[in-house]
A and B are shown apart, each in its own frame.
Chain A
Amino acid sequence: MKKGIGIALVALIATVAAASAQGAHRQLQAASAAGLSCKSTLEIPFVTPLTGGAGFLGQDQLTWAKYAVATLAPQMGLKIKLLQGDTPVEQGATPATTLAQKYIADPKVIAILGPSTSGAVAASSASYFQAHLAHVSPSATRTDLTYTVNGQREGTPAFFRDVPADNIQGPTDAAYMVKTLKVKKVVVFDFQEPYSQGLAAAVQSYLQAHNVTVIRQSAPNTTTDFSSYVTKVPNDADVVFFPTQQPPAAQTFAEQLVEQGKKAIMFSGDGSDTPAQYNKPGGYVSVFAPDISGIPADKDILAGWKKANPGKALDAFGPPTYGAVDILLTAIKNACTTGHGTVSRADVLHAVKHVKIANWILGGSFKFSTKTNDPLNAKFYIFQIQKDGSYKLVA
């Protein structure tokens, strides 16, 4: 008797499994083709690390994203709800793929802001592409997301970013070091994560091609005490290339360099661009945009953001997030106009590619390059930290 019930249940499971696989297939096809009314509330999830070691980056970007949605959406006549998806870097790729499934299944989601980390983009871009969801990242700078490197391209045509890739920053920095600083010996660091490893590799190859001695060092990303690393910096090294994404780490390293009497100058990437936290005089920082507090057109935006976020400091990752929201909303608005009041994911994806923004928050106007989904004519600016801790543009 019990055996009979068992067998019957197994048979039931098998039939149900087969049936559900069929039915779900049909249902899914229907869902993705539908269009949404431009007057309804559309959802844009922001996929970024909100907890864990890189949580501070995501939290900061979040303030700008919220501010952008709150100010720009009413201006464009859109109703946008910002969702939050947390991809802590300690958990690898799994949160990114799970969140991708969640947002693909949500019919009100029209486009994605982010993912902020290159790893998350690599893991989820294929899914978004197949679901026709445009995803614009304010900070994923790994080169092979939009370029084909070693026969491999990790991003898909649905992936866009509004900051230049690492393959521009590396040579720019290295060229400055060679031409202006006239270096002979450079220590190059990486932090065992994709951002710094990409930059370090690019800088190293440029320097070595120009006959500069390069010494490589690698520190875990969570290092905060650099004493042993500083000890190994040779006394005659000219520059230490330190592409960290944690400005306090750069500050600590700079202080410990002084403490141990080394004369090397520090050179950091855009990850360290936070004058409030990294302000040791003499160092250099390369950033993909001039400081927006120096751009007159952004005065109101900055004032508004400061009012909404009292006590928070301006840093590198926030304004591109604002810009990415700008891109998405502009694309949605354009798609709504051409679609006469209805918009679908595929429409937005198409519109993003052709977005043109006149008052770009990072200065000038914005357009995507036609060859890759990177900003057109992106370049990096080099700042030197002055005696009073402020950043001054030098190149």
Chain B
Amino acid sequence: MPTFLQLTLDALTLGSVYALVALGYSLVYGVLKLLNFAHGDVVMVGSFIGYGALQALGGSANPAVPVWLLLVLITLAAMAGCAVLGVAIERCAYRPLRNAPRIVPLISALGVSFFLANSMQLLFGAQQRDYQSYLLSGGSLYFRGFDVDTVHVPLLRIITISSAFVLMVILWFMVNKTRTGRAMRATSFDGEAAAMMGIDVDRVIVFTFILGSALAGAAGVLLGLRIPTFTAIGFTLGLKGFTAAVIGGIGSIPGAMVGGLLLGAAESYTAGYWTTSWSDLVVFSILITFMIFRPQGLLGREDIRKV
């Protein structure tokens, strides 16, 4: 019987990555009221950029720089690359549709998603890319770590969970303590009022996309470190991130974090204690029931419609 601790560790690992993806969704939804279906594919591009950076720095077998520096560098590369990608997507696919009915930018997002996933496949092929982090510094990422009871917590998972946590703290800081963050919150609360108060909404939106996409890039690298990546993961990841964001309350930043962790927990525990082939079913049923009884999510605002 799998131990509760092991499953909790799994939940935390999965959940922190989902939280990062969900944050990107929530941020963009907050300011644009748009469900950015291309977000999952930005994560995928991030994982590929990380892979490319890894190869450029010598590959897993013979890294040219110390391992910790290597990890930091590839994460930064992925974050920067995805930020640029996010800005480009916003400019080309979403900005012209600012005033269109809500479903139209959704379709544009789907088009971007198709374009990204298939362009990557055209350029780099459909096979899976493995970061081979086992090789990095002779397996120490897997062997070193500490033990809790009977469960071994390897260094790799510690890195994943703590990096995600650190990034979320930085994000919280940026959103709540800086001026641009305040402008972002104002725009997400009431876009028109914010514009009338002199906030440059365009710049705020670009800033939001930079933040969200950078997080996506980091999520991509964190994901790639543990499991192989390929061009088709975008849709499923986007779906999970979207789910996590909605459960936590879309538009709410702490909500996205909580939603991500909850989703990771739901997946992990149902797979562990129930049968694995029906775990998807159970997760979806739970989620549907949850949504019916609390549609605004855990930490979301109740939608009050004014006539």
Contacts and interface: CB of A to CB of B under 8 A. Distances in A.
A43 interface: no
Contact of A218 (B3, B13, B277): B277
Contacts of A260: 6, 152
A220 B280 contact: yes
A56 B125 contact: yes
A148 interface: no
B2 A231 contact: yes
Interface in A170-196: 192
Nearest to B13: A227
B92 interface: no
Given A56-B125, A258-B142, A259-B142, A229 B130 contact: no
B272 A231 contact: yes
Contacts of A222: 232-233, 236
Contacts of B51: none
Interface string B213-235: 00000000000001111101100
Given A217-B276, A225-B227, A231 B6 contact: yes
A197 to B, nearest CB: 11
Nearest to A232: B2
B126 A259 contact: no
B232 A231 contact: no
A53 B7 CA distance: 28
Contact of B232 (A53, A218, A232): A53
A158 B267 CA distance: 45
Contacts of B128: 56, 224, 246-249, 277
Contacts of B126: 50-52, 55-56, 58-59
Contacts of A231: 2-3, 6-7, 10, 272
B178 interface: no
A255 B142 CA distance: 8
Q: Which of B6, B126, B128, B152: most chain A CB closer than 10 A? A: B126
Given A248-B128, A277-B128, A55 B10 contact: no
B228 A252 contact: yes
A229 B276 contact: yes
Given A51-B118, A252-B227, A255-B142, A228 B276 contact: yes
Interface string A54-76: 01101110000000000000000
Q: Which of A56, A225, A227: most chain B CB closer than 10 A? A: A227
A351 to B, nearest CB: 34
Interface string A84-127: 00000000000000000000000000000000000000000000
A261 interface: yes
Contacts of B280: 220
A251 interface: yes
B127 interface: yes
B278 to A, nearest CB: 9
B228 A251 contact: yes
A395 interface: no
B135 to A, nearest CB: 10
Given A222-B236, A252-B227, A258-B142, A59 B272 contact: no
Nearest to A190: B277
Interface string A35-54: 00000000000000011110
A31 interface: no
Q: Which of B13, B129, B236, B276: most chain A CB closer than 10 A? A: B276
B106 to A, nearest CB: 21
B295 interface: no
Contact of A248 (B13, B130, B236): B130
A13 interface: no
Given A225-B14, A258-B142, A56 B127 contact: yes
A219 interface: yes
Contacts of A228: 2, 7, 10, 267-268, 271-272, 276, 279
Contacts of B29: none
Contacts of B14: 225, 227
Contacts of A56: 125-128, 230
A95 to B, nearest CB: 16
B121 interface: yes
Given A225-B226, A246-B128, A260-B152, A255 B2 contact: no
Interface string B1-16: 0110011001001100
A251 B130 contact: yes
Interface in A258-274: 258-261
B59 interface: no
A51 B229 CA distance: 15
B232 to A, nearest CB: 5
B181 interface: no
Interface string B81-104: 000000000000000000000000
B134 interface: yes
B276 A218 contact: yes
Interface string B156-180: 1000000000000000000000000
A59 B277 CA distance: 29
B154 interface: yes
Nearest to A277: B130
A51 B119 CA distance: 11
Interface of A: 50-53, 55-56, 58-60, 192, 217-220, 222, 224-225, 227-229, 231-232, 246-249, 251-252, 255, 258-261, 277
Given A227-B268, A252-B226, 7 more contacts: A218-B275, A228-B2, A229-B276, A231-B272, A247-B128, A251-B130, A252-B130
**Lowest 5 A-B CB distances belong to which pairs?**
A55-B126, A248-B228, A56-B127, A218-B277, A228-B271
